[in-house]
Amino acid sequence: MASRSVHLVGSYPADDTRQAMTTTANERGRYLRSLPDGDVGDRRNWIVHIVEAFRRHPDLELARHGDWSGYDNRPLFKVKPGRRLSSAAIDTGHAAAAKASYLDFREIRTQNALDQLTFQVGIPGDLDLGLFTFGTVGAFTKRTLFRDALAAEMGEIATWSQRDVLFQLEIPVELIMVATAPTPLRGLAANFLAASAVRLVAAAPPGSRFGIHLCLGDLNHRALKRLTSTAPLVALTRALVRSWPRGRDLEYVHLPLAADDQVPATQSTFYRDMGRLASLPPDLRIIAGLVHEDQGLEEQIRILRIVESYVGRSVDVATACGMGRRGTDAARQALQRAAALAES
């Protein structure tokens, strides 16, 4: 393998999961440590399909109409009068989707002699699912329902995968909240949000393997927030590592250093706060989400060097978010760029 690994965040433009895994494994498999199934079809837009399914849920009704044309134009739900929503009545579909792809994953891994590969399954944060379903207030009052439902999904996956699956905790809402908090309150916000986010991790079976995907949003290939420095990323990352529960392995943290509609910043001062990541455990992989096909290779190499100079070690590389909202050509270009950066 190259000195750096390439990380695939999740979604990839393909007709089905087998095609997505075959394409990425064939083209860049030797750079990968884990392989997602591509989150194809309805899953390409992260949790949109889960929230949309609540239109048919017997215990819920629309509180606000929305068509997902923007972050402020999405549907919100409420519990019907006289009904009670339970975690057992929430089916996010993660276990079923993972099981449907896992046999293909094992076959593709064997065909390509990629013994190092682990099957990667993205799991949204419970606060994130709560906010996109019920709005800000409901996100906090009903997040336990989603936590229990997601924990059940992970438990089901663990029954047939053992340690051949790595769960990727995906928490854009927490990052946006930390980035939005006033600077004097940023640390407090990061500590509170991290401590509550990892309760979902603690609810997973002992011995579960995890990575973290911090995100700035990618609805309709547009970020919700643009950072002016890496300080929010650093604050939340450090808080998550401090709060991490025992008995669940944290293998990497993926940091978005671009937005999929915005190339990485070129000023070295933007990355200065990443020096505070130098004290993280040496076996915790830091993944720089800076891969962007619309920025020149030499510029991207220069930015990668800046990042590594601050954190004091080599980092792995990835796009800022999944590639499912890209076109096929753009996704292939991003894969090529990631490999070039891994080799640089």
Cβ proximity of 317 and 341 under 8 Å: yes
Q: What is the pLDDT of residue 260?
A: 64
Query: Taking a C-beta distance cutoff of 8 angstroms, is the pair 287, 213 a contact?
Result: no
Q: How far apart are CA 237 and CA 211, in angstroms?
A: 12
Percent of the chain with pLDDT over 90: 86
pLDDT in tens, 168-208: 999 999 999 999 999 999 999 999 999 999 999 999 999 99
CA distance 248 to 268: 35
229 or 73, higher pLDDT: 229
The secondary structure of 274-311 as a DSSP string is GGGGTTS-TTSEEEEE---TTS-HHHHHHHHHHHHHHH
Residues 115-124 have pLDDT tens digits of 999 999 999 9
CA angle (287, 71, 194) in 5-degree steps:
45
CATH class of 17-52+92-343: alpha beta
Residue 212 has pLDDT above 70, yes or no: yes
Query: Structure pTM?
Result: 0.96
Q: What share of the chain is helix, strand, coil (3-state, %, to 5)?
A: 50, 15, 35
pLDDT tens, residue by residue, 52-61: 999 999 999 9
- Give the full edge-to-edge strand order of the sheet including 165-170: 34-36, 118-124, 165-170, 209-213, 249-256, 285-289, 316-317
pLDDT higher than threshold 70 for residue 338: yes
The pLDDT value recorded for residue 2 is 61
Q: Residue 73 has what pLDDT?
A: 83
Confidence of residue 32 (pLDDT cuts 50, 70, 90): very high
Model pLDDT, residue 45: 86
158 pLDDT exceeds 60? Answer: yes
pLDDT at 80 over 80: yes
CA–CA dist 61, 134 (Å, integer): 11
**What gap in Å lies between CA 7 and CA 257, rounded to an integer?**
14
> Mean pLDDT for the chain?
94
In this predicted structure, the answer to whether residue 219 has a pLDDT above a threshold of 90 is no
Q: What's the residue count for the chain? A: 344
Contact in structure between 331 and 20 (CB atoms under 8 Å): no
DSSP 265: P
Confidence grade of residue 308 (pLDDT, cut at 50, 70, 90): very high
Question: What one-character-per-residue DSSP string does 214-243 give?
Answer: -----BTTB-S---SSSHHHHHHHHHHHHH
Residue 222 has pLDDT above 80, yes or no: no
Residue 1 has pLDDT above 60, yes or no: no
Q: What distance in Å separates the CA atoms of residue 186 and residue 278, rounded to the nearest whole number?
A: 20
Between 259 and 75, name the one with better pLDDT: 75
pLDDT at 99: 97
Domain regions of the chain by residue span = 17-52+92-343
Q: What is the pLDDT of residue 221?
A: 64
DSSP codes joined into one string, 9-48: -S----SSHHHHHHHHHHHHGGGBSEEE----GGGGGTTH
Instruction: Give the pLDDT of residue 68.
Output: 85
**pLDDT over 70 percentage in the chain:** 98
Each residue's pLDDT tens digit, 317-334 = 999 999 988 889 999 999
Residue 72's pLDDT is 80
